[in-house]
Each structure stands twice: as C-alpha cells, then as structure tokens.
Amino acid sequence: MAVDAARLAYRKWRLTPAPKRAEILFRAAELLVKRKEGFSRDMTREMGKVLAESRGDIQEAIDMTYYMAGEGRRLFGQTTPSELPDKFAMSVRQPIGVCGLITPWNFPMAIPSWKIMPALVCGNTVVLKPAEDTPLSSYNLVETLSEAGIPPGVVNLVSGGGSGAGAPLAKHKGVPVLSFTGSTTTGRIIAEKCAPDFKHYCLEMGGKNIILVMDDANLDLAIDGAIWGGFGTAGQRCTAASRIAVHKSVCKEFVARLVERARKLKIGNGLDPAVEMGPVINEQQLDTVMSYVEIGKNEGANLLTGGRRLEAGEFRKGWFHEPTVFGECDPKMRIAQEEIFGPVVSVIPVDSLEQGIEVANGVAYGLSASIYTRNVNGAFAAIQDLYTGIVYVNAPTIGAETHLPFGGTKQTGNGHREAAVAAIDFFTEWKSVYIDHSDKLQRAQIDNN
C-alpha cells in the first residue's frame, strides 16, 4: 500500500518545479527549529542517548533540510559546445521514482533526513522504514513534513522489523531506488535483493575507526577527542573511535589519562543534564558488548577499566555498560578488527606514523580516521595515505557536516555517499539533450572527421 501510494504521488510530484518542492522543505526546517527541544526529549526517551546528543541529532536534520531546500534552485546540469554547427548540447537531472529508505536507531532523525530531503527535492517519492527500536523520531520527522505541505503519498512511513518490512521493501519491483544504513551483514543481504532488478542502491554500513596519536600531539586535546569519539552515544556510532593507535613514546601517559577520564564519566538517564553517557539500545546489543569484552580478555588484551554491565540501583531498568578500555592490543585481535558498536576502546601502541597508518588501513572497513599531530607534513601524509571516506586532523572521528559527502570505503559502503551534492547524484539520473537547429541531418562523428 505504501509503495502504491508513493507511485501514484510520483506522477505529480516529479512535475512540481524543484524550487516549489524546496519551499516545502524550507517550511519543514522552520518547524523543526520550533520543535527541536520536544523532539530531542522524545529521542532521548526513545533510544537513550544524552539530551545534548539528541539536540545535535535534531540539529543535523534541521541543517540537512535547510541545505536541500537550497538545492531546489541548484539542481544544475551542464551546457557545452557541440562539435557540430548549429547544435546545442546540455545535460539535465531527472528523478527516478519511489525510493525505499531503511534507517538505523542510533540517529533516528538525522539519518532519515539525509535520505528523505535529497530524494524529495530531486522529485522522487519515498517509503521510509525506520529501525523498530526508534519509530517515534521518524514519525515526528514525517509528520513535520506533512504539516509543512508535502502532498499525500509523497512521504510514507512503514514500521516493522527487517524481515517483515525492510526485506519486502528492498525487493519490491515498484521501488527502483534503495538507500540503507546499518550493518555490513544486512547490507550484503540488501545488495543481493536489489541486484536481480538492477536497482540503484546505496549502502552505508559498518566502521572500525581509528584515532592516531603522534608523539608531538596535544595530549589534552587528544584525550578529549578519544573520550568523545569512543564513548559518545555509548560508542554506538558508525564513526565511533573504537581504536586508538598511540606512539609508544607517549603511550603510557596517554593511556593513564584516558583511563582516568573514562572512569569519571557519569552514566545514567540521558535526560539528566549531568549524565555524559547513556545506555546501549537494547539487551541484544548489551549482550554483544559483553561478549566482545570476554573476547578481548581471552585474546590477551589488558583490561584497564570497565568491562562490566551496570545493574545496581538506577541501572537496574536499563542496558548500561561501563566505559571500557583495553591496552596493549595487537591490531589483529578481534576487538581491534570487528565492529562492536558499544563503549569499548582498544589502544594499540605504534612506533611511527607509517606503522599507525598501516594499522589504520588494516581492517575491513574504511569510514573515518583521525590524527592528532602538530606536524603539518605528517598530517598531510595521513590525509593522503589513510584509505577512508573521512579524515579528521586534530579532531575525533565523529562530527561530519551536511555539506560534505559522508560515507566510506571497502566494507563500509558500495561507493555512494550521503549528504551534500553526492546525495543529489544518487537520487537522480543524468539525461543528455541534443538540440539540432541546423535543419539538416548531422551525423556527429561521421560528419566531423
């Protein structure tokens, strides 16, 4: 039913002038600004991250909606001289149709906005399937778009699990475009379902991101970045810094200070302004985190702090896990190779920048990496040699902005990018147009040799 509604609405929506489509998005952004605080509190109650992070999530949706509203007057093509006389050549963008959007629970409004807004401004219609853990935030976004003037059927929300809602959406023959954010395992299944019909599909998947801390780094800044990168959103970000490669000459001091800071983090209800880290999303994810802690111990990593579920007192009614730091990790250990998606950080000593880059690139993923250094030559060497979609210098692995492409290499994605003009590229097809006003047959290269 949702796909049928989207297909019917597409007939008129694709013919609505792009600037008019954009005006609706602008109104939606204005409404999101007014409702930011209420939506933020809904989000914290729904998925647990601290209120400041929920506000950031809503702000990202606001930013993306404003940005894509601006693109309504910038869906540029190209004009180019023809190789023949009295002939005009240009290219234009065209929408594709119904877009199936499958989004995760960790950014339940920001990530849907990354997909919905460019799809809409390009003239497509959408069917959104949010994560079953966080339907409310996606409902709030869709309801806001409706109130801003999006016509019926243009944006459709379908709740449910992966097998009951996500898989049917991915293989539906009336959905030529599929955009997915989630695990690499599920992304592979999505790709298999899309391939037989040659659908357009964008996969934004896992990460095993690294912070490189060099011997000349500002350690105060690096510690701040490591704490935020490793334990923000309880480590439940695709860009979380779950590995830290530290130059051996500063490793002892860095680790001691990192452990001290991790132990002092206040954990609890995200609605409490004093809380710095909330729970993980559900019991299954908590079990995964706890299993990786045991894997790390069995591999011989040195558990420096954390490693336990919090169950006493206020923690009895939630899935809380201590911020956890492993030291003296070998880069080939599973805890340093596999995505955990929880508050677990592995520290890997390295002898040099070159070794750090080798460690950084030695995983199956390639989303985000960062380096802390005061050496401009080293910073640019890292920018050049880190095989990731995102690189930060003197900042953690999280903090992407809406006007630059977001995505990664290797098993992080399939080559497409979210946000910025890259999203416009994914949600449109190019059409080349030739207008011959010579009033005679011209056969291109045949008549031009």
Based on the residue annotation, tell me whether 192 is a catalytic residue of this protein.
Answer: no
pLDDT of 361: 98
What whole-number distance in Å separates Cα of residue 286 and Cα of residue 284? 5
Q: Which of 238, 322, 339, 418 is catalytic?
A: 238
Based on the residue annotation, tell me whether 204 is a catalytic residue of this protein.
Answer: yes
CB atoms near residue 440 (< 10 Å) = 8
Name the average pLDDT for the chain.
96
Write down the CATH superfamily of domain 2-205+413-434. Aldehyde Dehydrogenase; Chain A, domain 1 (3.40.605.10)
Q: What is the mean pLDDT of residues 303-330?
A: 95
pLDDT at residue 100 tops 80: yes
Cβ–Cβ under 8 Å, residues 390 and 239: yes
Going 147 to 152 to 154 to 158, the CA torsion angle's sign is positive
Q: What is the CA radius of gyration of the chain?
A: 24
pLDDT of 401: 94
Q: Look at the block and give the residue holding tokens 């990593």.
A: 301
**pLDDT tens digit sequence for 118-174:** 999 999 999 999 999 999 999 999 999 999 999 999 999 999 888 788 889 999 999
Q: Please provide residue 429's backbone torsions phi and psi, each rounded to the nearest 5 degrees.
A: -115, 145
Cβ–Cβ under 8 Å, residues 423 and 122: no
The closest of 341, 319, 279, 276 to 53, measured between CA atoms, is 276
What whole-number distance in Å separates Cα of residue 14 and Cα of residue 262? 51
pLDDT of 448: 77
**pLDDT tens digit sequence for 185-216:** 999 999 999 999 999 999 999 999 999 999 99
CATH architecture of 210-393: 3-Layer(aba) Sandwich (3.40)
What are the extents of the domains in the chain? 2-205+413-434, 210-393
Q: Which of 204, 276, 322, 339 is catalytic?
A: 204
Domains 2-205+413-434 and 210-393 share a fold: no
Q: Which residues pair with 325 in a beta bridge?
A: 305, 345
**pLDDT tens digit sequence for 22-50:** 999 999 999 999 999 999 999 999 999 99
